[in-house]
Amino acid sequence: MFKLNGKVAVITGGGSGIGQAISKLFGQQGAHVEVLDVDGRAAADTAAAIVAGGGSAAGAACDVSDAAAVTSAFEQIVTRTRRLDILINNAGIAHVGNIERTSEDDLDRLYRVNVKGVFLCTRAAVPTMVKQGGGVILNMASIVSFIGVADRFAYSMTKGAVLTMTKSVALDYVKQGVRCNCICPARIHTPFVDGFVKKNYPGREEAVLRELAEYQPMGRMGTPDEVAYLALYLCSDEASFVTGQAYPLDGGVLNQ
């Protein structure tokens, strides 16, 4: 079960954190993994780790907010692999602030990566999936797609858009065999979170990390591997009847 043998998976933001965990797991499960990341070195390192473990992978730099870069990356991948079975739209950035502390530049920056990036990559992948008779798109949304979280105005806006894009793509392409779902995590402990806390809460890192953990009723943050396991199910043939759905992975947040 949950094998991905013969499938080609493109994973954005695969150089670290959740994207890296998904990339490595998919490689272990038999997929050829194309790792894309704005940090080309990080993408290459993830791909090298997959290959060292006996898998098949390649890594490349790609800014998902740049239409030309996305088009070029996907064209090169399809030219080499001749197919595209799975797209994980994982690349994303965060921001702290309510609407008064969100500048126009902040809003535009988050929109370009978190919303436009999903749009550009999905638009680049869909024609190949339709042509070959099907495929799977999995977007990384957030628990804030469902509920409000203080001081996350711009981030919440973008993740709400990811949720509705997921449902639109699922509806538009269900007859062509393309499934589209999203995962909505609560706090996941990644190196990104550590860096984010250090930058935005200097001197309070330990207390803030404790607050982030206690936000979940389980009393801890999730792990990248836990997200990766759900991603594996949703992208596998075992989930062939699932489309247009948003899966919370929240440690009990929505039950509060």
Question: Which domain CATH number covers 181?
Answer: 3.40.50.720
Are 68 and 117 within one domain?
Answer: yes
Are 65 and 113 within one domain?
Answer: yes
Nearest to 82 by CA among 132, 139, 41: 132
pLDDT band at 173 (very low <50, low <70, confident <90, very high): very high
- Domain count of the fold of the chain: 2
Concerning whether 155 is annotated as a catalytic residue, the answer is yes
Does 254 reside within a domain?
no
pLDDT band at 32 (very low <50, low <70, confident <90, very high): very high
**Alpha carbon distance 102, 91 (integer Å):** 21
Domain of 156? 8-186+223-248
Give SS3 for 193: helix
Span 196-220, average pLDDT: 94
Are 119 and 182 within one domain?
Answer: yes
Given this model, what pLDDT does residue 256 score? 85
Q: 155, 173, 229, 247: which one is catalytic?
A: 155
Does 149 reside within a domain?
yes
CA-CA-CA-CA dihedral for 227, 178, 120, 108, to nearest 10: -60
Are 194 and 243 within one domain?
Answer: no
